[in-house]
């Protein structure tokens, strides 16, 4: 198992399955995430919002990315998300298989633009 500080799992909750799917597809298409798992069954979230306790079903995204792509990933989530304050929590991956982590790196690497 390889130790790492540059790989992340980012947690994001969405209000609907269609929003979760749309965000996940966009993040992978733009190479901001190597993989996004969508928790198919809603999770039940209990939280305080505007001074009141709320409960809501939400769909959880588990996003695999790198530290170098995090700022752009957060910016894109804010643009795509319908919440005023979307949850974006980045957790470090402290280890993993070298092959998987190499694939993760390659999957989020920005494509080189051809020089003219």
* Residue pLDDT tens, the chain, 116 long: 666 679 999 999 999 999 999 999 999 999 999 999 999 899 999 999 999 999 999 999 999 999 999 999 999 999 999 999 999 999 999 999 999 999 999 999 987 654 54
Residues ≥6 apart with Cβ < 8 Å to 11: 60, 61, 62, 63, 87, 88, 89, 91
Among residues 57, 65, 53, 49, the alpha carbon closest in space to that of 101 is found at 65
Cα within 13 Å of Cα(115), Cβ side:
0
């Amino acid at each position: 198992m390889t130790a790492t500080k540059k790989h992340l799992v980012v947690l994001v909750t969405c209000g609907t399955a269609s929003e979760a799917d749309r965000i996940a597809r966009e993040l992978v298409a733009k190479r901001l995430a190597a993989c996004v798992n969508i928790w198919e069954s809603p999770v039940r979230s209990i939280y305080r919002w505007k001074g009141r306790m709320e409960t809501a079903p939400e769909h959880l995204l588990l996003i695999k990315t790198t530290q170098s792509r995090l700022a752009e990933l957060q910016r894109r989530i804010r643009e795509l998300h319908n919440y005023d304050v979307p949850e974006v929590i980045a957790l470090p991956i402290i280890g993993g298989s070298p092959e998987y982590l190499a694939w993760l790196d390659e999957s989020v690497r920005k494509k080189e633009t051809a020089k003219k």
